[in-house]
Amino acid sequence: MRLPAAVSLFLLVLPVATWAEEPVDTAQGVIQGQIAAFLHDDAKAAYFFASPAIRGKFPTEGAFFDMVRKGYAPVYRPGNFAFGRSRVIGDTVVQEVLISGPDGKDWTALYQLVKLPDGSYKINGVHIVRAAPGPEI
């Protein structure tokens, strides 16, 4: 059976396109997972997405959860959020997230995710600014 040229080309390009977007898609999934954990008050699940460096600064789930709850309200209780721009630099993904905070104000969160030796990505830091969209990434 012979495939039409357009289908053959699509099948050849698909793996490359998927591979090129994979770190960003993975990073976005990690961010979504952590935000869902915050919305369900699941400290253990939220902590799972934190990098070893963050875990070093906040050695317990409770300490980490309290830090986020007190200092990152837009991330802890977002109204709505959408992914903006992203950049992949080696084993690091920087992902812009546009957030409507619990106060109704718009925020931009710049997430930094690092790839660990096991191939997983973990959140290594979040910088929040009271603006949308944020600065260049």
Based on the structure, what is the number of domains in the chain? 1
pLDDT at 28 over 60: yes
Query: What is the pLDDT averaged over residues 32-45?
Result: 97
Query: What is the pLDDT averaged over residues 91-114?
Result: 93
Residue 90 lies in a domain: yes
Residue 29 lies in a domain: yes
Residue 136 lies in a domain: no
pLDDT, the chain, mean: 85
Type of residue numbered 78 = P
Residue 135 lies in a domain: no
**Residue 108, Ramachandran bin (φ over 0: left; ψ between -120 and 50: alpha; else beta):** beta
pLDDT at 10 over 70: no
55-65 per-position pLDDT tens digit: 999 999 999 99
Residue 134 lies in a domain: no
User: What range defines the domain where residue 43 resides?
Assistant: 5-129
- Look up the CATH number of the domain holding residue 78: 3.10.450.630
pLDDT at 9 over 70: no
Q: What is the pTM of this model?
A: 0.80
- Whether cis (ω within 30° of 0) applies to the bond prior to 135 is no
Residue 105 lies in a domain: yes
Residue 58 lies in a domain: yes
Residue 137 lies in a domain: no
Lowest mean pLDDT among 22-36, 55-69, 98-112: 98-112
Q: pLDDT at position 101, please?
A: 84
Residue 21 makes CB contacts below 8 A (sequence gap 6+) with none
pLDDT at 120 over 90: yes
Cα dihedral 72, 73, 77, 80 in deg (nearest 10)? -90
Query: What is the pLDDT averaged over residues 21-27?
Result: 91
